[in-house]
Amino acid sequence: MSISPQEASIATREICQLAPIVPVLVVHDVAHARPLAEALVRGGLPALEVTLRTPVALDVIAEMAKVEGGVVGAGTLLTPADVKAAKAAGAKFGVSPGATDTLLDACEAEGLPTLPGAATSSEAMRLLERGYDMLKFFPAEANGGAPALKSIGAPIPQISFCPTGGVSPKNAESYLSLPNVVCAGGSWVAPNDLVNAGDWDAIEALARAASQLPR
């Protein structure tokens, strides 16, 4: 079932509004998938972005999709093949570092709501022209951080963003305080050392702290 850019933006905006932080996850072991997702959801972060950066990423998405209360998406979508595979694995949304017509065509055809990436005003305007008004600002810190995003928002207030890339507990509030930011993507809530140690309580605590960030 296909989806329009407008429908995609509405759906992704609703997902982004679930919590102030969307965990950006790079998972190397399928066995970690369900307990990790359960810990993050318990901590108040239901929207989960599993990046397609590991050989087991699709299997991880499939496992996390079984977790009650979670909304699992696929990050690092680059090709139509990625889109098809992510949708088949159970992803409810997609995230891409940038955007091409080929990729967006595939997302729309597959009915996968997608958060397309933009780093400049021109990229954001082009996506708005196509019908997308909920975007990913990436890489956020490398592109000037919150001040840059604030500047982009002044002339294009109808676009909202999820900044990702270099977002941390130290600067998250500076992003979340902006009127054109709905949420932010962050990896600090699931650090590799805690995941590898299976310390789900510690991850739940990190998630709970992130879920309480003001916006």
CB 67 within 8 A of CB 38: yes
49 annotated active-site: yes
Q: Is 84 labeled as catalytic in the residue annotation?
A: no
For 144: left if phi > 0, alpha if psi spans -120 to 50, otherwise beta; the answer is: left
In terms of C-beta density within 10 A (0-12 exposed, 13-18 middle, 19 or more buried), how is residue 214 classed? exposed
Distance CA 60, CA 31 (A): 8
Rg (CA), the chain: 16
Query: 207, exposed or middle or buried, with CB in 10 Å at 0-12, 13-18, 19+?
Result: buried
Q: Which of 49, 108, 110, 204 is catalytic?
A: 49
Residue type, 154: A
State whether the Cα torsion 186-192-193-195 is positive or negative.
positive
Tokens of 175: 């992003």
**Angle in degrees, 0-180, between the axes of helices 101-110 and 80-89, rounded to the nearest 10:** 30
Q: Which residues contact 54 (CB under 8 A, 6 or more apart)?
A: 26, 27, 28, 60
- 63, 92, 110, 136: the catalytic one is 136
**Would you name the residues annotated as active-site residues?**
49, 136
